[in-house]
Structure 1
Amino acid sequence: MAKKSGGGCMLVIVVAACLLGFGYYRSQSGSSAAPPEEGPGTGGGSGRYVALGDSYTSAPNTGEQSGTPAGCDRSNNNYPSLVSATIKPAEFVDVSCSGAVTASMSGQQQTHNGTNPPQLNAVNADTTLVTVGIGGNDVGFIGLAKDCATARPSSSPCRDKLTAGGNDQLAERIATTSTRVAELLDKIHAKAPKARIVVVGYPTVLPDGNGCWPSLPVGAGDVIYLRETLGKLNDVLAEQAKAHKAGFADTAAPTKGHDVCTASDTRWVEGIVPTSKAIALHPNAKGEQAMADAVEKLVS
């Protein structure tokens, strides 16, 4: 993703990736919860498992390229593949795609290399399990990247701009995303009335404290703001899962202490320059395994 070690371009790349909807999660309501026990089971050679989601689900570069289009950067070692290998459904379909938003569930997604059909096309009446990891890109942080990168470690340009006048723009966008996720869950239930649904939250990316500037060139004030604000995204995912008869896989708690600011041998989410197979600021193979473990506890 990033090939240079410094400069303004690197700052923008780092913050853009950070702001795609992945943050440190501290929630009162978001601990894992199993989906209702309804209909036929999935696993042991029975059932149909469909995985929906964005790049934290498709997991670019953590394994070999899987499926089409190539632009989805879908790995055969992502958490849906790991879950499938453990529970062994009769059929497994992974249509996750890097860059996906909730609109990508019902509409086509243009990638840098091919078009991904609407992800909901894979969900049918025979589906017995659906996992969905979505919402981060809907908040639309990437367009604000230039405002968050800073050469001053104590500054908070992003927070200052986004909360000017007493209106928190990110909170408003998260509220909109919450409604979209609710609508998505209803659509999944309608297409697959027998399926158990698990909403998969985002893992820990940002650490406690003020961050690790300049390795992560985000000012202390913005690290705190983004950590708390992006935690709200996981909160609303958990809330909508509960309200719409779905389970919620909390992947933040088990990945805490393995964020981008930790040492390479303990890091489960890669930093600016990945030291293991993954793309910048995304889970590596260990991170995907942790996410898989969180899901498996709910569906095994």
Structure 2
Amino acid sequence: MQDILNEIAKEMMAIKDKGKVASYIPSLANVDINQFAISVSLCNGEHYHAGCANTLFSIQSISKVFTLTLALGKLGENVWHRVGREPSGDPFNSIVQLEHEHGKPRNPFINAGAIAVADLIMQGHEPKETLAEILQFIHYISNDDSILIDEEVAKSELATGSRNASLAHFMASFGHFINPVDKVLGTYFHHCSIAMSTKNLANAGLFLANNGIHPSSGYPVVSSERAKRINALMLTCGHYDGSGEFAFRVGLPGKSGVGGGILAIAPGKASIAVWSPGLDIIGNSKLGTKALELLAEKTSWSVFAK
């Protein structure tokens, strides 16, 4: 496995076209595009890394996997009254479908869906309390209490979040919101600004590869059935309107973020995290996707492999 990761990292660093950083968020626009990291955490307890696997980056929309997990723990199937489970086929910040579908987002991984999930998990609490709960959960599943929110990124999100604010107010106009919109947006922007390394992220996703069981404690984070459902949503919706292409090329459940990270799950085998800040035209990591495609080929981990 180490040889495979070293080979992939070497090949990725040699590629000249690394995509473009997310320049619409000022703090992400300044990230060095010539960085690459990959980490693999196996269900048997082994861990492998290549590249700058200790470097912290903004996980952005990958955090939506963890907030969805929390929401399902709090509300169970009632979550699906507020968000759907279908691929969007539109950009992650599109408002068009919301109008046609009366303020109910297609899935929890597009921006509107994740904002609705943030509203659900708040349950009347203040943003600071909710964010503390989210961080506590991530500390637990990653075995790392040092993970924090990058306040500089959060400020950038707040300063440039007009489209997301429009999505939230539009949903609220249908009477769906429980909490004040501004507080929900603050919670959403801050949980997207959590900073992690690929080592952290691969560890945090391992319960989804391990039938919902926390590998260190042996206790269930979620039921095996719920882990399967979350993985299914990651496969069909985790890369926005590029989800079909990612499933076609990589064949693993995955969730991307505009910080350049991708969390991918090989059920029963491993949790994989990659980071390369350059994005493709859809907003997914250009080299991260390629690296996962190579890893799936070399390991035969695709969920569609025989």
TM-score (norm 2): 0.30
TM-score (norm 1): 0.30
